[in-house]
Structure 1
Amino acid sequence: MKKIKLLLVDDEKPFLDTITKRLEKRDVSVSAVYSGKEALDELEKNRAVEVVVLDVKMPGMDGIQTLIEIKKRFPLVEVIMLTGHATIETAIDGMKLGAFDYLMKPCDIDVLVSKANDAASKKRIHEEKITEARIREITERRV
C-alpha cells in the first residue's frame, strides 16, 4: 500500500510532536505546521499532500476558515477535523463544508490512521477518474 502523505495542523506543539512520532511509526509521511496560514503555504509548496488533519480551535485563522480555504484552493485534498472542543454544530458545519471526517482529541491513533487511509484512497480515486477523463478527452479529439 502506498504511504499516506499527511499534513498535521495544530497550534499545540507537544500534541503535534507526539502525534507526528506516533504516525511516523505507522509508516505515514507527516509534515506538521502550527497554523491555518502555514497549512495553506505548505499545501502550496507540497502538492503531494493527500490528507490534512486539522485542529478546529486555533488562534488567528481557525480550523473552519482553514478548511474553507483548503477546499477552495486544493479541492481534492481530504481534510479530517480534529478537536478537543467538539460540538455537534461544528462537526456538522465541517462536514457541510467538505471535511472527510471529524475526530475528538485525544483520538485513538489507529482510528486516525484508518480514517487517513480512507481519505487518501478517496483522493486517489478522484485523481484516477480525472486522469481517465482527460485521457478519454485527448483520444476522442484525435479520432
Structure 2
Amino acid sequence: MAIAQVLLVDDEKPFVDTMIKRLTKREMDVTPAYDGNEALAKLKENPRIEVVILDVKMPGMDGIETLGEIKKGYPLVEVIMLTGHATVESAIEGMKKGAFDYLMKPCDIELLVSKVTEAGIKKRHHEEKIIEAQMREITTRRT
C-alpha cells in the first residue's frame, strides 16, 4: 500500500512528470492535475486522495483560490502549497485558508516526502476521530 494518496497540481507539465517519478519511487500514489479546475474534478472522482501538493501560481484559478475550494468541499484533505514565487503575503493567506504547509520550489524531495507523510497521518487521524465520535453516538442511542 502507498504511503499516501497524493494529488499533484501544477501547470508545468515537465515539473509534474519529474515529481511523479520521484514521489512514486518513494511509495506514493500520485495523481496529476494541471490546473485548479482539474484538481477539483480529480478530488471528486477519487475520494482516497489524502494530500494535495498545490502550486500557488497557475493560470485561471490560482493556488490560493483552489485551496479555498478544496477546503470548502474536502475539509479533511491536507494541502501543501508549493511555489517558486513565494511571498510572505501568499504564505500567510494560504495558512489562513487551511494549508498544512508552504514550501519553496525547488524543494528538497526528502523534505517534501516528510511533509506529505505528516499531512497524510494528520488526515487519517482526523478521520479516525470522526469515526470514533460517530460510533459513540450510535452506541449511546442504542442504550
Is TM-score (shorter-chain normalized) higher than 0.5?
yes
Aligned residues: 143
Per the normalisation by structure 2, the TM-score is 0.98
Residue 12 of structure 1 and its aligned partner are, at CA, apart by 0.1
Offset of residue 2 of structure 1: 5.6
Equivalent residues in 2 for 1:62-73, closer than 5 Å: 62-73=62-73
Residue 3 of structure 1 deviates from its aligned partner by 2.0
1:19 matches 2:19: yes
One-letter code aligned to 2:55: D
Identity of aligned residues (%): 68
- Cα distance in 2 for partners of 1:82, 1:31 equals 16
Moved >4 Å (runs of 4+) = none
The Cα offsets for residues 91-124 of structure 1, whole Å up to 9 and x where unpaired, read as 0110011000000000111000000000001000
Aligned to 2:110: 110
- The residue type paired with residue 36 of structure 1 is G
Structure 1 vs Structure 2 CA RMSD: 0.9
Q: Which amino acid aligns with 2:102?
A: Y
Question: Which residue of the partner structure matches residue 76 of structure 2?
Answer: 76
Matches within 5 A, 1:1-143: 3-143=3-143
The answer (yes or no) to whether the contact 2:3–2:28 under 8 Å persists in 1 is yes
Q: Distance in 1 between matches of 2:32 and 2:127?
A: 24
Aligned AA (1:114): S
Task: Output the TM-score relative to the length of structure 1.
Answer: 0.98
Aligned to 1:8, the other structure's residue is in SS state strand
Mind listing any 5+ residue stretches in structure 1 that lack a counterpart? none
